[in-house]
C-alpha cells in the first residue's frame, strides 16, 4: 500500500467533470467545471475525491497524518495532458532537410526526391529495437516534463512487416516500462516506399493482406491510420486500407487534407473514423460532414508552424460543432517537438481558440480521440490519478505567459514523477 496523496488548495482546479461519455463540442468546450481552492485525494493510483479543500479536509480528517500532502495554493491543477497524435518511435533526425526547407524546398518535394519519411524509414530500419526504445524513452521523459501523461504513437517508419512490427513492439515495451501510457496506431500506409512506386496498389495490398492481419493478431495496435494526400495514398486506397483495419478490429484514423483539399475529411466522416488529423485544407463540406458524424478533428498547429504555412481553422471547426483536440504531431520531419504547452499557445494565439478550449482539446477531447476517456482526461472520482500542477494560478496564465513550460509537478497513476519541474530520479527507463 502506498501513501495517499492529498493535493490541496489549488487556486484553480480544472475538472472537466461529466465529459467522459462523449467529446466536448461547441460552447461546452469552454466549460472547465473548475473548483476554486480545490483539492484532490488519491489512493492506489485512483482519484478518491475532488472538491473544495474544506470538504476534502473534513472527509479525510482521520487519515491526514498518513497522507503525502502537496500544497497547491496559488497554482493551477489540470488533468494530465494527453497527446493524441505522435510518431514517437523513430531513429535519427532531419536537420539537413530543415535547412533545405528554410531555403525554399517544399516538404513534399523532399519526400518525392526520396528524403522526408523515406529518410527516417532508412534510419529506423537500421536501428535495433533496443536503440528505438532508448531514443524514444528520452522523448517520453521530455513529454512528461511538459505535463504529458499519455501519448498515442504511430508506426509508419518501417513500411514492411518486419520493421513495422519492430516499431510497434518498441512502443509496447515502452508502454510497459515508462510511466507515460502509450496507445498504439498502425500506420504501415505512411508513404509508398521508393522501391514500390512502380505499383503502388501492390503495396496497398501488402498493407491490407499481410501487415494489418498480423499487427491485429499480435494485439500491437488499437488504431489504423493512413496518409491520404495527393502523391501518397488516394482516397480510394485510403478507404480500402481503413476498411480492412475495421475488419480486423483496428479503429480508423486518417491524416487528411494536410497539403491540399483531397476529400480526407469527407472520407473520415463516411467511415465514421475516430479522428481526422491535420485538416489544414479541409473543405467546408468535409467539416460539416465530420460534425454530423462526430469525427474528432485532431489539429496539429506545430506542423503548420514548422512547415511555415497557415494553421487549420480551429475556430471554424468548433463553431461548426466538430469536437476538436490538439496534438504535437511529434515527428522528425514536420514537427520535432514534445511541447504540448507550446501547441496550446499556438491554438490560442493562432487558431482563434480560447484558453479554456485549448485545455479541453489537450485533456478530455484528446482522451476521446484515443478512446481512453473512460479512465483519463478529466479529474473525477474513479479515474486514473494523472494530473499536473502548473506554476500559474489561473488557466489563462498558461497561454498569457506563452512559450514557457509551467509544469511544476506531475502525478502519473498516483505516483509523483515530476517534482519542481524535474524528473524524479527513480523512473524505470
Ligand atoms: N504527414 C505525414 N506524416 C507526419 C510527418 C512524418 C515525417 O515527416 O516524418 C505528419 O503527420 O506530419
Ligand atoms: Zn502525423
What do you get for the CA distance between the two ends of the chain, in Å? 23
Is the full-model pTM beyond 0.95?
A: yes
Percent of the chain with pLDDT over 90: 98
Please compute the mean of the pLDDT values over residues 155-173 and round it to a whole number.
98
Residues 361 and 392 in one domain: no
Is pLDDT above 80 for 391? yes
pLDDT at 428: 65
Would 151 be classed as within a structural domain? Answer: yes
- Give me the helices (H) in 272-416, please: 284-293, 301-306, 314-319, 340-350, 355-362, 364-369, 397-400
Would 428 be classed as within a structural domain? Answer: no
Is pLDDT above 70 for 75? yes
Please compute the mean of the pLDDT values over residues 345-369 and round it to a whole number.
98
Would 219 be classed as within a structural domain? Answer: yes
Domain boundary among 370, 393, 409: 370
Q: Among 117, 122, 193, 328, which is best to mutate for testing ligand 1, by the most ligand atoms less than 8 A from CB?
A: 117
Q: What are phi and psi of 93, to 5 degrees?
A: -150, 175
Residues 20 and 124 in one domain: no
The protein residue whose alpha carbon is closest to atom 12 in ligand 1 is 334
Using the mean position of ligand 1's atoms as its centre, give its distance from the Cα of residue 179 in Å: 25
Q: Any binding-site annotation on 329?
A: yes
pLDDT tens figures, 201-236: 999 999 999 999 999 999 999 999 999 999 999 999
Please compute the mean of the pLDDT values over residues 76-81 and round it to a whole number.
99
Cell 501513501 locates to 3
When pLDDT is cut at 50, 70 and 90, the band that residue 2 belongs to is: confident
Would 33 be classed as within a structural domain? Answer: yes
Tally of CB atoms within 10 A around 421: 13
Alpha carbon distance 333, 87 (integer Å):
10
Q: Any binding-site annotation on 331?
A: yes
Would 268 be classed as within a structural domain? Answer: yes
Give the structural domain span for 300: 81-370
DSSP string, 123-183: HHHHS-HHHHHHHHHHHHHHHHHTTEEEEEEE--SS-SHHHHHHHHHHHHHHHHHSSSEEE
Indicate which CATH number applies to the domain containing 217: 3.20.20.140
Would 224 be classed as within a structural domain? Answer: yes
Residues 306 and 275 in one domain: yes
Please compute the mean of the pLDDT values over residues 236-260 and round it to a whole number.
98
169 lines ligand 1 (CB under 6 A): no
Residues 61 and 196 in one domain: no
Would 429 be classed as within a structural domain? Answer: no
When pLDDT is cut at 50, 70 and 90, the band that residue 279 belongs to is: very high
Q: Give the CA angle between residues 229, 230, 233 to the nearest 5°.
A: 60
Interface TM-score (ipTM) > 0.90: yes
User: Out of 138-147, 311-320, 327-336, 420-429, which region has the weakest mean confidence (pLDDT)?
Assistant: 420-429
303 lines ligand 1 (CB under 6 A): yes
Domain boundary among 345, 370, 395: 370
Residues 213 and 325 in one domain: yes
Residues 60 and 123 in one domain: no
Residues 229 and 328 in one domain: yes
Residues 405 and 354 in one domain: no
Would 297 be classed as within a structural domain? Answer: yes
Using the mean position of ligand 2's atoms as its centre, give its distance from the Cα of residue 255 in Å: 6
R_g of the chain computed on alpha carbons: 21
Residues 112 and 231 in one domain: yes
- DSSP symbol at 209: I
pLDDT at 429: 63
Residues 234 and 360 in one domain: yes
Residues 172 and 214 in one domain: yes
Please compute the mean of the pLDDT values over residues 159-182 and round it to a whole number.
98
Domain boundary among 338, 355, 370: 370
Q: How many angstroms separate the most distant Cα atoms in the chain?
A: 72
Q: Any binding-site annotation on 178?
A: no
When pLDDT is cut at 50, 70 and 90, the band that residue 385 belongs to is: very high
Using the mean position of ligand 1's atoms as its centre, give its distance from the Cα of residue 87 in Å: 8
Residues 341 and 415 in one domain: no
Helix (H/G/I), strand (E/B), else coil: 338: coil
Q: What are phi and psi of 187, to 5 degrees?
A: -135, 55
When pLDDT is cut at 50, 70 and 90, the band that residue 1 belongs to is: low
Indicate which CATH number applies to the domain containing 18: 2.30.40.10
The domain total for the chain is: 2
Tally of CB atoms within 10 A around 305: 17
Cα torsion for 390, 391, 393, 394, to the nearest 10°? -50
Amino acid at each position: 500500500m502506498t501513501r495517499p496523496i492529498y493535493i490541496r488548495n489549488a487556486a484553480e482546479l480544472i475538472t472537466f467533470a461529466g465529459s467522459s461519455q462523449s467529446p466536448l463540442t461547441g460552447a461546452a468546450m469552454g466549460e472547465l467545471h473548475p473548483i476554486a481552492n480545490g483539492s484532490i485525494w488519491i489512493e492506489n493510483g485512483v482519484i478518491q475525491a475532488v472538491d473544495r479543500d474544506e470538504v476534502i479536509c473534513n472527509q479525510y480528517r482521520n487519515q491526514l497524518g498518513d497522507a503525502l500532502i502537496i500544497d497547491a495554493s496559488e497554482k493551477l491543477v489540470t488533468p494530465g495532458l494527453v497527446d493524441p497524435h505522435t510518431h514517437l518511435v523513430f531513429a535519427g533526425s532531419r536537420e539537413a532537410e530543415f535547412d533545405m526547407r528554410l531555403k525554399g524546398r517544399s516538404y513534399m518535394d523532399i519526400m518525392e526526391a526520396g528524403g522526408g519519411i523515406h529518410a527516417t524509414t532508412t534510419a529506423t530500419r537500421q536501428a535495433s529495437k533496443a536503440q528505438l526504445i532508448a531514443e524514444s524513452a528520452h522523448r517520453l521523459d521530455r513529454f512528461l516534463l511538459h505535463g504529458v501523461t499519455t501519448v498515442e504513437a504511430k508506426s509508419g517508419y518501417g513500411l514492411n512487416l518486419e520493421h513495422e512490427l519492430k516499431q510497434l513492439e518498441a512502443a509496447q515495451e515502452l508502454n510497459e516500462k515508462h510511466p507515460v501510457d502509450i496507445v498504439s496506431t498502425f500506420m504501415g500506409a505512411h508513404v509508398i516506399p521508393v522501391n514500390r512506386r512502380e505499383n503502388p496498389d501492390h503495396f496497398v495490398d501488402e498493407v491490407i493482406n499481410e501487415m494489418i492481419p498480423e499487427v491485429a493478431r499480435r494485439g500491437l495496435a488499437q488504431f489504423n491510420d493512413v496518409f491520404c494526400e495527393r502523391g501518397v495514398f488516394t482516397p480510394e486506397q485510403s478507404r480500402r486500407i481503413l476498411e480492412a483495419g475495421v475488419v480486423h478490429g483496428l479503429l480508423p484514423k486518417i491524416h487528411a487534407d494536410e497539403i491540399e483539399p483531397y476529400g480526407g475529411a469527407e472520407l473520415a466522416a463516411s467511415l465514421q473514423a475516430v479522428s481526422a488529423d491535420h485538416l489544414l485544407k479541409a473543405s467546408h463540406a468535409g467539416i460539416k460532414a465530420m460534425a454530423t458524424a462526430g469525427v474528432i478533428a485532431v489539429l496539429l498547429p506545430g506542423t503548420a508552424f514548422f512547415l511555415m504555412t497557415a494553421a487549420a481553422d480551429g475556430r471554424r471547426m468548433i463553431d461548426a460543432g466538430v469536437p476538436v483536440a490538439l496534438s504535437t504531431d511529434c515527428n522528425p520531419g514536420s514537427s520535432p517537438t514534445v511541447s504540448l504547452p507550446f501547441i496550446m499557445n499556438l491554438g490560442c494565439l493562432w487558431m482563434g481558440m480560447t484558453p479554456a478550449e485549448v485545455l479541453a482539446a489537450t485533456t478530455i477531447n484528446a482522451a476521446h480521440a484515443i478512446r481512453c476517456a473512460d479512465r483519463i482526461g478529466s479529474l473525477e472520482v474513479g479515474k486514473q490519478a494523472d494530473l499536473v500542477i502548473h506554476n500559474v494560478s489561473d488557466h489563462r496564465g498558461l497561454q498569457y505567459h506563452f512559450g514557457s513550460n509551467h509544469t511544476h509537478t506531475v502525478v502519473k497513476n498516483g505516483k509523483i514523477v515530476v517534482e519542481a519541474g524535474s524528473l524524479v530520479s527513480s523512473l524505470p527507463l
